[in-house]
Chains A and B, each alone.
Chain A
Amino acid sequence: MNKFTEDDLKKELETKEYEYGFYTDIEADKFPVGLSEEVVIAISKKKNEPDWMTKWRLEAFKVWSEMKEPDWANVNYEKPKFQDISYYSAPVQKKKLDSLDEVDPELLKTFEKLGISIDEQKRLSNVAVDIVIDSVSVATTFKKTLNERGIIFMPISEAIQEHPELVKKYLGTIVPTTDNFYAALNSAVFSDGSFCYIPKGVTCPMELSTYFRINEGGTGQFERTLVIADKGSYVSYLEGCTAPARDENQLHAAVVELIALDDAEIKYSTVQNWFPGNKEGKGGIYNFVTKRGLCEKNAKISWTQVETGSAVTWKYPSCILKGDNSVGEFYSIAVTNNFQQADTGTKMIHLGNNTRSTIISKGVSAGKSQNSYRGLVQISPRAKNARNFSQCDSLLMGDQCGAHTFPYIECKNNSAQIEHEATTSKIGEDQLFYCNQRGIDTEKAIALIVNGFSKEVLNKLPMEFAVEAQKLLEISLEGSVG
């Protein structure tokens, strides 16, 4: 019978090419490989940074030099050779750009391939986009509309120049340079990223979005994002990531810091689709990211992530629920295929009274991949009436992959209520036959079932992203149709 079996699907999955794996031929200004104090200083100089910034970087570099790369995560990979990476690569631009019309046409083509035609976006949807290629922010749209409300949304390199008081006040307060190996590295060498400040009481009228792309070979990308929501403000922030297919592994070590002051709310969504490596597990991005947010009184931070890319992912978007009545949320769907490895989850640190957190984590493993959830729920002795609900569900496709759950629950207050649940399942033969009988082929049926499985997370994404994320899930699992 010519029925599309799970074996066929597996084969297709293996041969599925990475859809975003193209390389843009743009002239790049790239540093020689290697990392030293001189390189750190050079990066800082290149960016024309003030002294305090250079000092900050150098301190971070010093800390990093004394740190060891962590190995507690449930992932195996060849450790990056930190002296073989170029720590700065920027598309060469003749002058500072004033409008999109002046952007390198090659670059614009890249955006189109990425599915972000900036023009289209500008006209049709209500999204302001900042794009970081390799290490440098190349375009920020919608500046004018945002300016009118006092919202600052610009590359962090510019923010260091134009709003040093804000950057100085908050940078490194949530993720200190000493936090971990990759955060220290990032602090020393980050070259760009996005900066966002929402003034008191302002509701940001549109989604803010950053697209990250690693283009040049042999480079690392170390972007730094800082989002500050002042008292009573609201912002929804989106982040998308892609990289071209390359044989060697490339390092991406970003740091994201969120600060939600009293009564503020930050919704931070990520669709991560870094190149996952080919079907033999060659190449792909090492995605070692530190993301953390701080909630003051009555504030709320919500992380939503759709992770389909990267060869190795190491990522735990976290919330420090410092203020009373603050709320932390984490919604994640992580899909791994072929030889991908993901160790991802969240930390919810309850410090204030009546703090609440919700964790919904969905993992889909296929091929020979390993997918781990690692999470921490911590209730401090002072945090009265803290609540947490966690749910971790795994879906396995085939018997070559693994799904793992490592939740840590540490409770030191007797008024806390914590519930954690985890389940593991597969797509049932009976479910597939039922779909087949209604005329839905196996490939489509799997996509449908995986989408159903991920629904609670997909529902949390802003509309513009939900559709893209859904497609991404299908692509990573389904193979091309026909």
Chain B
Amino acid sequence: MLEIKNLHAGIDDKNILNGINLSINAGEVHAIMGPNGSGKSTLSSVIAGNETYEVTEGDVLLDNKSLLELAPEERAHKGIFLSFQYPVEIPGVTTTNFIKTAINEKRKANGLEDLPAKDMLKLIREKSELLEMDRKFLSRSLNEGFSGGEKKRNEIFQMAMLEPKLAILDETDSGLDIDALKVVANGVNKLRSKDNAVVVITHYQRLLDYIVPDFVHVLHNGKIVKSGGKELALELEKKGYDWLK
């Protein structure tokens, strides 16, 4: 489904990604781990199309079509979802209004009519229950004054609403207490299917106890230095990253 080929990218002439190769198939969960500064967040930003980063070499393909020439919103319409490490606050715009706009824009891009208000409300109710979200958050300004955990839960709620093909969870576990972590992980697991894929970017293996990966990749200096199954995460937890360098 997603194919990353020899991807080089950087910011202001500074190279961060130095040739990443990765293949992700439908139905799979991949975990990308690595120490601070290894390029994990850059990778997710580049896939989502953040123009702060410049791609200097290589390609990213979704269903055999390159994503690199597409604007972030076009990538989103094709089913890329990034759960932000630091979700952005938008004062005055309610979560409901925001997600409604996002869904209808996606539908428009795919030649569909706006979702009728009734169906939208039903969907919102359903998905917010899945994430055990307090309904009052939905009518508050997006992420404004939300705690870290509430913001992350809101990200997964949006993911549930948008039903992406490929979801990238960037440090979704940071700032979550164990109960919130379980809820979020539970939400993600319920959304998994044979047609979609999930990339979990994390520093610790804690989240991987709840979202069990099929593959684990270790990123170091902008390259994947080791890949393996879920047991690799446990090994990393025990030994740290130093032995890989």
- The docked-state distance in angstroms from the alpha carbon of A7 to that of B176 is 39
A439 in contact (CB, < 8 A): yes
- Residues of A in contact with B (beta carbons under 8 Å apart): 1-4, 428-431, 433-442, 444, 448-449, 451-456
Contact A452 B93 (CB under 8 A): yes
Besides A3-B51, A440-B102, 16 more A-B contacts (Cβ < 8 Å) are A1-B49, A3-B49, A3-B72, A428-B88, A431-B88, A435-B102, A436-B49, A436-B73, A437-B75, A438-B73, A438-B99, A441-B71, A441-B105, A451-B92, A452-B91, A454-B92
Across the interface, which residues of B come within 8 angstroms of A454, CB to CB? 92
Across the interface, which residues of A come within 8 angstroms of B93, CB to CB? 448-449, 451-452, 455
Majority secondary structure of chain A interface residues (helix, strand, loop or mixed):
helix
17 contacts between A and B (CB under 8 A): A1-B71, A2-B69, A431-B88, A433-B50, A434-B87, A437-B49, A438-B76, A438-B102, A438-B158, A439-B109, A440-B102, A444-B101, A444-B105, A449-B93, A451-B92, A451-B93, A452-B90
Q: A437-B82, A439-B77, A439-B109 are in contact. Are A449 and B70 (CB under 8 A)?
A: no
- The docked-state distance in angstroms from the alpha carbon of A449 to that of B162 is 20
Across the interface, which residues of A come within 8 angstroms of B69, CB to CB? 1-2
Question: Quick one: CB contact mask for B135-158 with A, threshold 8 Å, 1 for yes?
Answer: 000000110000000000000001
Contact B71 A448 (CB under 8 A): no
- Residues of B in contact with A (beta carbons under 8 Å apart): 48-52, 69-73, 75-77, 80-82, 84, 87-93, 97-99, 101-102, 105-106, 109, 141-142, 158, 162
Q: A452-B90, A452-B93, A453-B91 are in contact. Are A436 and B105 (CB under 8 A)?
A: no
- The docked-state distance in angstroms from the alpha carbon of A434 to that of B80 is 13
- The docked-state distance in angstroms from the alpha carbon of A438 to that of B81 is 7
Q: A1-B51, A448-B101 are in contact. Are A441 and B90 (CB under 8 A)?
A: no
Majority secondary structure of chain B interface residues (helix, strand, loop or mixed):
mixed
Contact A441 B73 (CB under 8 A): yes
Across the interface, which residues of B come within 8 angstroms of A442, CB to CB? 73
When C-beta atoms are compared, the residue in chain B nearest to A429 turns out to be: B52
- The docked-state distance in angstroms from the alpha carbon of A433 to that of B53 is 12
How many cross-chain pairs have Cβ atoms below 8 Å apart between A and B? 92
Name, among B75, B81, B87, B91, the residue most crowded by chain A CB atoms within 10 Å (CB to CB).
B91
Across the interface, which residues of A come within 8 angstroms of B81, CB to CB? 437
B2 → A minimal CB distance (Å)? 16
A198 → B minimal CB distance (Å)? 33
Across the interface, which residues of A come within 8 angstroms of B71, CB to CB? 1-4, 436, 441
Contact B102 A455 (CB under 8 A): no
Across the interface, which residues of A come within 8 angstroms of B82, CB to CB? 437
B171 → A minimal CB distance (Å)? 15
Contact A438 B98 (CB under 8 A): yes
Contact A448 B90 (CB under 8 A): yes
Across the interface, which residues of A come within 8 angstroms of B49, CB to CB? 1, 3, 436-437
Across the interface, which residues of B come within 8 angstroms of A451, CB to CB? 92-93
Across the interface, which residues of B come within 8 angstroms of A448, CB to CB? 90, 93, 97-98, 101
Contact B84 A434 (CB under 8 A): yes
When A and B form their complex, which 5 residue pairs have the shortest distance between CB atoms, in order from nearest?
A: A452-B92, A436-B72, A439-B76, A452-B93, A455-B92
- The docked-state distance in angstroms from the alpha carbon of A452 to that of B158 is 19
- The docked-state distance in angstroms from the alpha carbon of A454 to that of B90 is 12
Contact A433 B72 (CB under 8 A): yes
- The docked-state distance in angstroms from the alpha carbon of A145 to that of B90 is 44
